[in-house]
Each structure stands twice: as structure tokens, then as C-alpha cells.
Amino acid sequence: MAMSVNVSSSSSSGIINSRFGVSLEPKVSQIGSLRLLDRVHVAPVSLNLSGKRSSSVKPLNAEPKTKDSMIPLAATMVAEIAEEVEVVEIEDFEELAKKLENASPLEIMDKALGKYGNDIAIAFSGAEDVALIEYAHLTGRPFRVFSLDTGRLNPETYRFFDAVEKHYGIRIEYMFPDSVEVQGLVRSKGLFSFYEDGHQECCRVRKVRPLRRALKGLKAWITGQRKDQSPGTRSEIPVVQVDPVFEGLDGGVGSLVKWNPVANVEGNDVWNFLRTMDVPVNTLHAAGYISIGCEPCTKAVLPGQHEREGRWWWEDAKAKECGLHKGNVKENSDDAKVNGESKSAVADIFKSENLVTLSRQGIENLMKLENRKEPWIVVLYAPWCPFCQAMEASYDELADKLAGSGIKVAKFRADGDQKEFAKQELQLGSFPTILVFPKNSSRPIKYPSEKRDVESLTSFLNLVR
């Protein structure tokens, strides 16, 4: 009795009988619990088991005259299958990013979805990156969406997820943190340890590791990163890149591609697009929230503040990444670059003639004075910090307003070599930190508000003078 066996394989891998050392198991892609077989194709190979001689393949039950007679058989089968395997060229994504630099988000999205099909997914955070889903919808191509449910999101965000699913007729693929890891963190350090020792550990458990599991089932992912979101960490992101941190389906360095379709789009333009298309948005936006994450680590921002100031507000501006886009943070030294320029080369700020520039020795002397002749207000700053830059005009105006009033207005550059000193001795938490040194007190008082306009600063001075 003759039996025919059809063997299939993808263009990027051959399938050979296990006796020749290559696995017959097909590759699979997965995200969460969803597993999808790659479509594969190789011309059928017929194995005649009837005992009759075939013109192309010897019968498997034929007795070879010598052991050497099996070698041509193996070589023939390998050669036949190898002829069907197409050599895959490694794509130059830096060159592709240059070609797409001036492309529209819709064009970039279409390129990404068309290239990867079911092996790519949109990362949806529950904020304005709903624009990504709308762009994907407009391409007319099928698309997948996943989100990280940390267990600490705002109720409004969960309702937003539901509204998005219903609006687009999709199911978001949720990824959850490992319950044992969360339990260990909370039991050992409490629910709000990140306020004391930084957000990185909590984000690693609740966001980074679940994301890593999700991305291991993909060949590419799509994010809502924009260059104007965080000048300190995102100003140089390309529209497409090899992911510098995470691994994809095939494993190893370079196995995952990251697409950022709105990298070159400004925040206002994203919102104009959302309003025009009349898509669901998170109701937290109407309450002053711009960048939205977990409830304990997100708050509304004030007019004039940068959107990322609402995230992890107790930390430095350059640390405002949770780990999902860790590759954006390039360096942690004094020579690190901001917007392509060395920090040491960034122009200084706060230039009013009525401002006193304090050196390390100067501020140490100020701290030692228990009976000052006049009160001082001092800003601890870093000129490359976008939040310090945002308050430059109001602080210069304050200095001019208080000139000759008996109140000294000063600045102290507290980054680089002075940072540890400022943290230990001057209550530096993040840039900018504003201190008031009253006349009859040895210890400075830290300005507690993020309202850095002239009126608010003046009111605080009057309260503590």
C-alpha cells in the first residue's frame, strides 16, 4: 500500500526528517495565551512505502548495500528541500527610518501592519495613544492591540478600555503581572515604597516583566512615543528601530522591531486628530491629566507645565521612564547629551541682573548663617531640565520684582558633581527645587507647590518671611 506524506515549511526555515538532525516542529507566535501557527510552504515530498522503486526517492524499506549508500540519499533530500528555502536578507532599519522620516502616521502604520501581519501588535496605555488604534483602523488591515493591566490603574482607564473595545469591535489582549512577585513586593516593602526608593522596582514587577512576556510572542510592536513627550529621553526616537531592550519571537538581540508612527507628531496635532475623528478618549484628560499611568504615580498638570511632570513627579526629569522604553535613556553621566547636545554645553538659564549666582561655597555659607540680615529664595536647577526651562521667565520676573525689597533671589546649579550634596543637604528631590532661607532660621524651607508663577512664589515668601 502506498502512502503519501506532505511536509510544509516556511520560507525562512527548512523541515527535514529528525533522523537528519532538524526538527519537524513548526514555529509558533504567541502573546498571552494566544498561539498562531506560521503559514509555511514547501513543495510536497512523496515518500513511497509500497516497496516499489521511485524515480525520485528510494523506498524507506529498501536495504542499502553498504552504509555509504545512505549518504547520497540524505544529501539528495537535503538538497531538494534547500532549493525551496529562500534566503532572507537582513533589513537596514536605520535606512528605513530615514525613508519614512517625513511619512504620515497613517503611511507608517500601514507599512508596519502590511510587513508583519499577525506578528505585530499595538501597545495601548489607555491615554492618547488611542490615535494608534484609529490609524490602524483607517488602514483597513487587521490589527492586534495589547495593554498592561498593572492592577493599579484609575477606574476611568478601565472604563476607557471597555469603550475602545466596543467602538472598534476588538478585544484588547491584557497582560497581567505575576501575582507571586506582586505579593512579595507589597509584603516586604508596602504599597507605596516607590515614593521612598523610586518607581523602577514597582514598574519592573507590574509593567516591564509582563511586557517582556507579551513581546516574546511578536516580531514587532507599535508604540505611541513622541519626541515632544519627554525632551530628556525621547527627543531622538526614530519612526522605526530595532528594539534596544526587548527580545521578540525569534529570540536574541535584534529579534524585535519597534515602530513609533507618531514620533514626529506634536501633542496638539494628536489631539486635533482625535477630536476630528470623534473617537473615545479617557475622561481623565478633561481633568488635567495628559500622560496617564498608574493611579498612585499620575496626577494632573498645571497650565504651562510639561505633560511628563504629571508622572513620578517626586523624581528627576531624566528618570521619567518606567522601563518600557528604557533604551531611550542613553547615559547617566555629566557628559550625557540632551537634544543631541552635551549637558555641559547647554546654555545657562535664569539670567536676570537681579539674580545672585551661588557657588557651592556660597550656598554652604548661606546654610551656616543662623541670623541672616535678609531672607533668600534659591532655586536648585539644571539648565538642561525642561521643567526648569519652563519656569525661567517667571523666576527672572520674580527677581526683578523683588529687587531692593530686602529679599535676595538666587540660583544654584545642582546637577553633576553637586547633585549628591544637594540631595543630602538641600532637600533636592527633582529639578527644579525651590528653597526659602528665612531670616531667623538655620534650616531652609522647601517650596511645596508646583505653581511656579510669580504670584504663587510671592505668596509663599510672605507666609514664611
CATH label of the domain that carries residue 298:
3.40.50.620
Residue 135 φ then ψ, to 5°? -60, -45
426, part of any domain: yes
The answer to whether the beta carbons of residues 256 and 362 sit under 8 Å apart is no
Q: Give, rounded to a whole angstrom, the gap between the first and last alpha carbons of the chain.
A: 103
Residue at grid coordinates 557657588? 359
Provide CB contacts within 8 A for 86, sequence distance 6+. Answer: 11, 12
Same domain, 75 and 131: no
Instruction: Kindly indicate the confidence band of residue 31, based on its pLDDT and cuts at 50, 70 and 90.
Output: low
Residue 333 counted as domain residue: no
CA distance readout (Å), 437 to 157, 367, 375, 399, 414: 42, 8, 6, 15, 17
Looking at 296, 328, 360, the residue that finishes a domain is 328
Domain co-membership, 311 together with 212: yes
Q: What pTM does this model have?
A: 0.56
Q: Could you tell me if 309 and 426 lie in one domain?
A: no
d(CA 126, CA 349): 36
Cell numbers at residue 264, please?
A: 514626529
pLDDT at 370: 74
Tell me whether residue 339 is in a domain: no
- Residues 16-26 have a mean pLDDT of 40
One-letter amino acid for residue 2 of the chain: A
| All cell numbers assigned to 156 | 476611568
65 vs 1: CA distance, rounded Å: 24
Identity of the highest mean pLDDT range in 156-165, 184-193, 224-233: 156-165
Both 176 and 303 in a single domain?
Answer: yes
The answer to whether residues 137 and 167 touch, using CB atoms and an 8 Å cutoff, is no
Which is nearest to 202 in space by CA: 245, 125, 150, 126?
A: 150
Q: 142 and 75, same structural domain?
A: no
Query: What local confidence, expressed as pLDDT, does residue 368 receive?
Result: 86
Q: In sequence order, what are the beta bridge partners of 356?
A: 410
Q: Look at residue 37 and give its three-state secondary structure.
A: strand
User: In 3-state terms, what secondary structure has residue 378?
Assistant: strand
Q: Which three cell numbers stand for residue 87?
A: 534566503
Q: Give 5 or 358, the one with higher predicted confidence.
A: 358
For residue 439, the one-letter residue type is: K
The pLDDT of residue 258 is above 60: yes
265: containing domain: 93-328
Whether the per-residue pLDDT at 136 is higher than 70: the answer is yes
Position with higher pLDDT, 440 vs 331: 440
Quick: pLDDT tens for 192-249.
988 888 888 899 999 999 999 999 999 999 999 998 775 555 567 899 999 988 999 9
State residue 254's pLDDT score.
84
Strand partners, 409: 377
Look at residues 300, 328, 356 and tell me which one is the last residue of a structural domain: 328
- Within a domain: residue 238? yes
335 in any annotated domain: no
Pick from 150, 136, 119: nearest CA to 31: 119
**Residue 97 counted as domain residue:** yes
Residue 104 lies in a domain: yes
- Measured N-to-C along each axis, helices 454-464 and 392-401 cross at an angle, to the nearest 10 degrees, of 50
Before 105, cis peptide (omega within 30)? no
Q: Which of the four pLDDT bands, split at 50, 70 and 90, describes residue 42?
A: very low
Question: What would the grid cell of residue 193 be?
Answer: 515604597
Q: Which among 436, 420, 464, 465 is positioned nearest to 366, based on CA atoms?
A: 436
Do 99 and 77 lie in a common domain?
no
Q: What is the mean pLDDT of the chain?
A: 79
Considering the chain, what percentage of its residues have pLDDT values greater than 70?
Answer: 72
Phi/psi for 85 (5° steps) reads -85, 125
Query: In terms of domains, do 293 and 375 share one?
Result: no
- Here the cell at position 450 is 508646583
pLDDT of residue 198: 82
Rounded percentage of the chain residues whose pLDDT exceeds 90: 49
For 375-413, the pLDDT digits (tens) are 999 999 999 887 888 889 899 999 999 998 999 999 999
72, pLDDT greater than 60 = no
Provide the pLDDT for residue 23: 43
387 in the same domain as 277: no
CATH code for the domain in which residue 453 is found:
3.40.30.10
Residues 100 and 211 placed together within one structural domain of the fold: yes
Mean pLDDT of 347-365: 92
Q: Is the pLDDT of residue 435 over 60?
A: yes
Interatomic CA distance for residues 73 and 357, integer angstroms? 84
Distance in angstroms (rounded) separating the CA atoms of residues 29 and 40: 13
Amino acid identity at 284: L
Instruction: Please check whether residue 10 lies inside any domain of the structure.
Output: no
Cα distances (angstroms) measured from residue 449 to each of 70, 127, 209, 460: 82, 26, 34, 9
Count: domains in the chain: 3
Which of 302, 328, 354 corresponds to the end of one domain? 328
DSSP string, 279-297: ----GGGGGT--S--BGGG
Give the confidence band of 371 by pLDDT, cuts at 50, 70, 90: confident
pLDDT the model gives residue 346: 76
Residues 220, 104 share a domain: yes
SS3 (DSSP) at 372: coil
**What residues are labeled active site?**
385, 388
pLDDT for residue 7 is more than 60: no
Answer yes or no: do 144 and 169 share one domain: yes
Is the pLDDT higher at 84 or at 353? 353
> Is there a single domain that holds both residue 353 and residue 282?
no
Label residue 54 by pLDDT band (50, 70, 90).
very low
Integer angstrom CA distances of residue 401 from 351, 352, 389, 395, 458: 14, 11, 19, 10, 10
DSSP 48: -
Among 152-156, 225-229, 243-247, 435-439, the minimum mean pLDDT is found in 225-229
